[in-house]
Structure 1
């Protein structure tokens, strides 16, 4: 037991000190960032979407060398070739991975496979229907993602509205994601009866993030009104998959036609590179430390909470600042989340 007002049952389930989860941002949430979040008391997710199993193995190994705290591996079944997904899961299970974080379509067979291996499953959802499907499939934690979120956005509801609706009908722990970047946001989530928060943008703009410095700097200079929700950056994902990005030359060229783009008809034009891997205009790839080329035209993911992120700092410092601010707010109100 603990008298920390931030300690919720989700902390006990996941083995973390505070209910602040690192979103499994593809390419960005690598071992260095995950370790920093874990060591500061949060719960990290490695972003391994469509990655080669060899990279997954090296990232998991490096993370375990840096911390003995628990973590999850994020995979996106609906946006991954089935054969690759199978080898990814097999690799994780062989490594003894204790938890998975899934997103987008709920795939009961995939959930059952890792649950049968004794793993925890977190599932990010964008609708009440998806939450119900995930709960029925046996997941352990629901992450309600609001339309305010950066990166891929599943639903069209405000995060707190969705999370509280799910909370009323679900028996599972519910965390909220989307625009969460401050201790005030965390305190509001706990006051609302939620079990925790998940943050992406707030941790993208940190020293340990694998995002390119250009992307980090654009995040710190932007606010929520600079972001755009569009399905134009859809190569590598199913048709209609929307993302929230910082507006750039690509979104400006859309002239307000933000939706209705078909990956089958979009041009395949290389605009950047990661080593020998081409990065295409309209792809879901964001600029990483290793990326060279036209970074401005890439998907610069950011949520509507970006206005509160004004500098690049160590991830542990950002997490501790969030936690301390939330503690102060809750203490002033004399409220504990129980």
Structure 2
């Protein structure tokens, strides 16, 4: 029997064929993208950060109609009003969601609540200290996010270094996130003894992503050196929350002062709209299919792996290409003499 070099214990735990996880990108990772990733054998996550329970219900319903494969729902407790977070979790449990993905601050009470309901918990972390707290709180999978990642960035350590440090202190499966966009990246992660990868930027620039085409095309044109890490896009999140974005007029106007921005003192200037919802300059909102207005000045999230993404493709095609490339690399290495 041929052993698939991509099959890790994480696949068995999550119920996927290959250890490629879709990042729970808020606004972007809706049911179409999640279904495409799951259908191609990866593990899907619905990005439901700060979303109304009614939208969670409709997205989960649509995803289940499209696939019977397992998935997680991503929530960010630290960036969500407590009353809304309570309603989100209740909604998910009423819908019999079996897995949650959390990020940012480790909140043991939240983890305990969903664990009592029998749910699987994945937690993305940016430091070894956060990984230890998450493991002590009872999570099942750790996602080590490197500083190369797009969107909100928790730590300041290179992904592979962080993931291996967490692997050294943890008994849990460890996946790596940040700068992972190709099959070569996946092969390197598995070769390093990690259990899988989580991808955001690679799946943002796909047909099924709910990101605006403006955002997608800028990702395909960017390289890692075009990205900037800053806490200027911080409205809606706690003070000091940094993001990696493609440089634009907002970051250029900072003149190198990328950190030290206080959401309490930033101006509230509407620059775009999502239907009847205003989108503010310096907010963490990125342009979606439904967004109109000054898209250039919004947060165009992208990681340093953007250089490996040169076209907008179906998500399933990108995932299968990643898997086949990694499989070829690892198989060739196994068969090489010595």
Could you say which TM-score interval applies, normalised by the shorter chain? over 0.9
* Aligned equivalent of 2:172: 172
Q: Which residue of 1 aligns with 2:54?
A: 54
Match of 2:184 in 1: 184
User: Shift of residue 2 of structure 1?
Assistant: 6.9
Q: Distance in 2 between matches of 1:145 and 1:254?
A: 26
In 2, distance between residues paired with 1:201 and 1:31? 17
After superposition, where does 1:164-313 map in structure 2 within 5 Å? 164-313=164-313
Runs of 4+ in 1 over 2 A off after TM superposition: none
Q: How many residues align structurally?
A: 335
Aligned-pair distance for 1:334? 0.2
The alpha-carbon deviation at position 3 of structure 1 amounts to: 1.4
1:157 Cα shift?
0.1
Q: Name 1:36's counterpart in structure 2.
A: 36
Q: List gaps (5 residues or longer) in structure 1.
A: none
Two-structure CA RMSD over aligned residues (Å): 0.8
Alpha-carbon distance in structure 2 between the residues aligned to 1:81 and 1:54: 16
**How far does residue 161 in structure 1 lie from its aligned partner after superposition?**
0.2
Deviations 1:14-64 (A, max 9, x none): 000000000000000000000000000000100000000000000000000
- In the TM superposition, residue 294 of structure 1 has moved relative to its aligned partner by 0.1
Distance 2:187 2:228 in 1: 27
d(CA) in 1 for partners of 2:198, 2:114 = 22
2:175 aligned counterpart, secondary structure: strand
Distance (Å, rounded) in 2 between the aligned partners of 1:308 and 1:88: 35
Classify 1:290/1:2 alpha carbon distance in 2 versus 1 (closer, same or farther; 3 Å).
farther
**Correspondence for 1:109:** 109
SS of the residue corresponding to residue 252 of structure 1 reads helix
SS of residue in 1 equivalent to 2:100: strand
Q: 1:89 aligned to 2:89?
A: yes
1:147 corresponding residue in structure 2:
147
* Alpha-carbon displacement from aligned partner over 1:69-125 (angstroms, at most 9, x marks no partner): 000000000000000000000000000000000000000000000000000000000
Give the whole-Å Cα distance in 2 for the aligned partners of 1:296 and 1:306.
18
- Cα distance in structure 2, aligned partners of 1:183 and 1:307: 13
SS of 1:176's equivalent in the other structure is: strand
SS in 2 for 1:256: coil
2:215, 2:316 → 1: CA distance?
20
C-alpha distance in 2, partners of 1:289/1:254?
28
Gaps of 5+ in 2: none
Partner of 1:13: 13
